[in-house]
Amino acid sequence: MQNQKNMTNRRYVNINEVSEYTSIPVKSLYELASQGRIPSIKLGSRVLFDLQDISDLFCKEGDCNNL
């Protein structure tokens, strides 16, 4: 839980951190990102996520209490 509070101080995080933050498996996050269903940035072989975009997406879907 402390790690999640530290992550909110950073804007971009890797897929493992988003998985921990959202409780969504890494494999599912890769699929969602490749389908364009969640916002992500691909830098070479790395996929990064803007935590504000992820939070906004979940709140838009009515599930912001779980983040």
Q: What are the tens digits of pLDDT across the range 16-44?
A: 999 999 999 999 999 999 999 999 998 99
What residue numbers bound the domain in which 8 lies? 2-66
The 3-class secondary structure across 8-46, one letter per residue, is CCCCEEEHHHHHHHHCCCHHHHHHHHHCCCCCCEEECCE
How many domains are there within the chain?
A: 1
Local confidence band at 67 (pLDDT 50, 70, 90 cut-offs): low
CA distances from 25 to 3, 9, 20 (A): 17, 22, 8
pLDDT at 60: 81
CATH for 20: 1.10.10
